[in-house]
Amino acid sequence: MGALNTKIIYRFLGITAMLNGLFMFLTVPFSMYYDEPEKWGILNAGIITTFIGVLLFFLNKPKNTNIQKKEGYLIVTLGWLTLSFTGMLPYLLSGAIPGISDAFFETISGYSTTGSSILTDIDNMPKGILFWRSATHWIGGMGIIVLTIAILPLLGIGGMQLFMAEAPGPSADKLHPRITDTAKRLYLIYVILTLVEFFLLKFAGMTWFDAINHAMATMSTGGFSTKGDSIAFYNGKPLIQYIIIFFMFVAGTNFVLTYFALKGKVQKVFQSEEFKYYLFGTLGVSAVIAIVIIFFQDPNLETVLAHPEVFGKTESAIRHALFMVVSVVTTTGFVSADFTMWNFFATGVFFALFFTGGSAGSTSGGVKVVRHIIMLKNSFLEFKKALHPNAIIPVRYDGKTVNKTIVFNILSFFIIYMLIFIISSVILTLFGLDFMSAIGAAASSLGNIGPAIGSVSPVDNFAHLSNGAKWFCSFLMLIGRLELFTVLILFTPFFWRKN
Q: Tell me which amino acid residue 365 is.
A: G
CA angle 309, 314, 319 (to 5 degrees): 90
What's the chain look like in SS3? CCCCCHHHHHHHHHHHHHHHHHHHHHHHHHHHHCCCCCHHHHHHHHHHHHHHHHHHHHCCCCCCCCCCHHHHHHHHHHHHHHHHHHHCHHHHHHCCCCCHHHHHHHHHHHHCCCCCCCCCCHHHCCHHHHHHHHHHHHHHHHCHHHHHHCCHHHHCCCCHHHHHHHCCCCCCCCCCCCHHHHHHHHHHHHHHHHHHHHHHHHHHCCCHHHHHHHHHHHHCCCCCCCCCCHHHHHCCCHHHHHHHHHHHHHHCCCHHHHHHHHCCCHHHHHCCHHHHHHHHHHHHHHHHHHHHHHHHCCCCCCCCCCCHHHHHCHHHHHHHHHHHHHHHHCCCCCCCCCHHHCCHHHHHHHHHHCCCCCCCCCCCCCCCHHHHHHHHHHHHHHHHHHHCCCCCCCCEECCEECCHHHHHHHHHHHHHHHHHHHHHHHHHHHCCCCHHHHHHHHHHHHHCCCCCCHHHCCCCCCCCCCHHHHHHHHHHHHHHHCCCHHHHHHHCHHHHCCC
C-alpha closest to that of 145 among 442, 452, 481: 481
Q: Tell me which amino acid residue 316 is.
A: S
| Burial (Cβ within 10 Å: 0-12, 13-18, ≥19) of residue 491 | exposed
- 340/444 Cα distance (integer angstroms): 14
DSSP-assigned beta bridge partners for residue 400: 397
Mean pLDDT by 10 residues, the chain (499 residues): 77 92 93 90 95 92 76 86 94 93 95 92 92 93 62 48 52 60 82 96 95 95 91 91 96 88 88 92 95 74 44 78 95 90 90 91 86 90 81 82 84 93 96 94 94 88 93 95 86 80
In sequence order, what are the residues at sequence separation of 6 or more whose Cβ sits closer than 8 angstroms to the Cβ of residue 274? 254, 359, 360, 369, 370, 373
The confidence score (pLDDT) of residue 47 equals: 96
Ramachandran region, residue 117 (left: φ > 0; alpha: ψ -120 to 50; beta: rest): beta
C-alpha closest to that of 72 among 172, 4, 121: 4
The confidence score (pLDDT) of residue 362 equals: 84
Residue 123: CB atoms within 10 A of its CB come to: 12
Q: Give the predicted TM-score (pTM) of the model.
A: 0.90
Q: How far is CA 196 from the centre of its chain?
A: 20
- 184/195 Cα distance (integer angstroms): 16
C-alpha closest to that of 325 among 313, 334, 315: 334
The confidence score (pLDDT) of residue 218 equals: 95
Q: Tell me which amino acid residue 141 is.
A: G
Q: What are the phi and psi torsion angles at 116 (to 5°)? A: -70, 145
For residues 116 and 470, the answer to whether their CB atoms sit within 8 Å is no
The confidence score (pLDDT) of residue 420 equals: 96
The confidence score (pLDDT) of residue 2 equals: 56
The confidence score (pLDDT) of residue 148 equals: 52
Q: Tell me which amino acid residue 123 is.
A: D
The confidence score (pLDDT) of residue 470 equals: 96
Q: What are the phi and psi torsion angles at 401 (to 5°)? A: -70, 135
